[in-house]
């Protein structure tokens, strides 16, 4: 598999609009439009940061992964996403190596990316998202 770069860092927040104020008004980052990703039960906003981005995620449901994360840990970094050249190939290789995957097949990611998560127990405690953008 080929990792191209850190695509984004996912930050779990309780209130997206409120959190965006800090990142845009204080840090001066520019927010791209928000998007609801139903399958992940999140509303997200991306803030480009040089060659990578920050992804702010607010839960759209009390039983979604972001709501559960915040309940357990409070707001903060929830995942790191690596851009890969070919996600199908990356997943096949990780599976072959016995790595614990959350998603064996790519799912829909914000902006039309193909994404899949690797379990934090396999990565020394980091929820890892693989992302391929065409």
Ligand X SMILES: C[C@@H](C(=O)O)C(=O)SCCNC(=O)CCNC(=O)[C@H](O)C(C)(C)COP(=O)(O)OP(=O)(O)OC[C@H]1O[C@@H](n2cnc3c(N)ncnc32)[C@H](O)[C@@H]1OP(=O)(O)O
Residues that bind Co ion (CB under 5 A): 10, 55, 81, 129
Burial class of residue 103, CB neighbours in 10 A (0-12, 13-18, 19+):
middle
User: Applying CB under 6 A, which part among 22-30, 62-70, 82-90, 91-99 lies near ligand X?
Assistant: 62-70
Secondary structure (DSSP) of 105-118 = S-EE-GGG-EEEEE
CB 61 to ligand X: min, Å: 11
For residue 21, give the 3-state DSSP assignment.
helix
Angle (CA) 19-38-105 rounded to 5° is 115
Q: From the list 11, 47, 57, 118, which residue makes contact with ligand X (rule: CB under 6 A)?
A: 57
Binding site for ligand X (CB under 6 A): 10, 37, 40, 42, 44, 55, 57, 65-66, 68-69, 78-79, 81, 102, 109-110, 113, 115, 117, 120, 125-127, 129
């Amino acid at each position: 598999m080929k990792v191209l770069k850190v695509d984004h860092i996912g930050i779990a927040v309780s209130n997206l609009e409120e959190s965006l104020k800090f990142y845009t008004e204080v840090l001066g980052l520019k927010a791209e439009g928000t998007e609801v990703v139903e399958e992940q039960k999140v509303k997200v906003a991306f803030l480009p940061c040089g060659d990578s981005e920050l992804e702010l995620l607010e839960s759209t449901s009390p039983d979604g992964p972001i709501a559960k994360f915040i309940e357990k840990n409070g707001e903060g970094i929830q995942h790191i996403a690596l851009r890969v050249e070919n996600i199908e190939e990356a997943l096949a290789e990780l599976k072959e190596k016995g790595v614990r995957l959350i998603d064996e097949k790519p799912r829909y990611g914000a902006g039309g990316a193909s994404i899949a998560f690797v379990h934090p127990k396999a990565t020394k405690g980091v929820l890892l998202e693989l992302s391929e953008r065409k």
